[in-house]
Amino acid sequence: MSTTFTIDTATSRANPTPAPMKRLTVPAIRARKADGQGGGEPLVMLTAYTVRTAQLLDPHCDMLLVGDSLGQVIYGLPSTIPVTLEMMAAHGAAVVRGSYHSVVVIDMPFGSYEASPEKAFESAAWLLKQTGAAAVKLEGGTAMAPTVAFLSERGIPVMGHVGLTPQAVNALGGYGARGRSAAEAAKIVADAKAVAEAGAFAVVIEGVVEPIAIQITRSIACPTIGIGASAQCDGQVLVTEDMLGMFERTARFVKKFDDLSGRISAAVDQYATDVRSRAFPGVEQIYAPKD
């Protein structure tokens, strides 16, 4: 979808004039599969939940993920389990409005797709209609392969997600790295192959020991997106607030590229000081009477 309209930027801080360019497509993302040896330019993916965040990330990313991690990041929930379709739709629509370049992928929340392929189609179709996103992401391996095929065959692009699957935290018993035993490693590889062969256009590999991620990347035809996996994956994704340093506690696999929480705290401290000393507002921020 290309941006062919002009927005009046004088009326809303949320709508700067977009640069004219065509949005990337799902087939273009799938075609970016590397050779499994670190060749090719890796895909860049970050999470986004709001218009303004999407605007800032969009020029630098190939994909924006409206992750169900918003349950924890935005709503302060203990896990992703309570996230609803309505939450995903509201934030997904905002991210689509704030982007014009990246492929927007939206998570299907827990309980919205597991019951049957038909239920998954109903949920996914509703999400895409409500948001304008290009694709959905769902967790699970071999058990979800028929659902991936069902959606793909009916025109809904699907991104898979294997390894550490946060929606299964209760069954997994926590967020520790997966694949440390030979049996579990073999299952994760089989899961990735199953969803890829079912038609997934990409597969997220989360929280696994590195040899598993490398093996999967070399053995499936669609791109792999690593998060706590390996630099040899075909791309990488992180929760934006984690990589910007908004939280003190993050997973081992997160690299903090900034200390945004520290800078925000310093700015607010200065604001509070200026308000209390009556230094703000100053002459630059008040309206003087007209002569």
- Would you please indicate which residues are annotated as catalytic (active-site) residues? 206
Residue in this structure with the two tokens 């038609």, named with its chain if needed: 199
Task: Single out the residue of 229, 220, 180 nearest to residue 196, CA to CA.
Answer: 220
User: Any binding-site annotation on 269?
Assistant: no
User: Any binding-site annotation on 107?
Assistant: yes
User: Any binding-site annotation on 114?
Assistant: no
Whole-number Å distance between alpha carbons of 155 and 134: 10
Whole-number Å distance between alpha carbons of 135 and 67: 12
Q: What is the DSSP letter of 104?
A: E
User: Any binding-site annotation on 68?
Assistant: yes
Task: Single out the residue of 91, 106, 11, 23 nearest to residue 51, CA to CA.
Answer: 91
Q: Which residues contact 269 (CB under 8 A, 6 or more apart)?
A: none
Token pair of 91 as six digits: 């934030």
Whole-number Å distance between alpha carbons of 144 and 193: 12
Q: What is the DSSP letter of 119?
A: H
Query: Among positive and negative, which fits the CA dihedral 156, 160, 165, 170?
Result: positive
Q: Which residues contact 199 (CB under 8 A, 6 or more apart)?
A: 148, 149, 151, 152, 153, 158
Residue in this structure with the two tokens 């959606």, named with its chain if needed: 151
Whole-number Å distance between alpha carbons of 138 and 147: 10
User: Any binding-site annotation on 137?
Assistant: yes
Enumerate the known binding-site residues for Mg(2+): 68, 107, 139
Enumerate the known binding-site residues: 68-69, 107, 137, 139
Enumerate the known binding-site residues for 3-methyl-2-oxobutanoate: 68-69, 107, 137
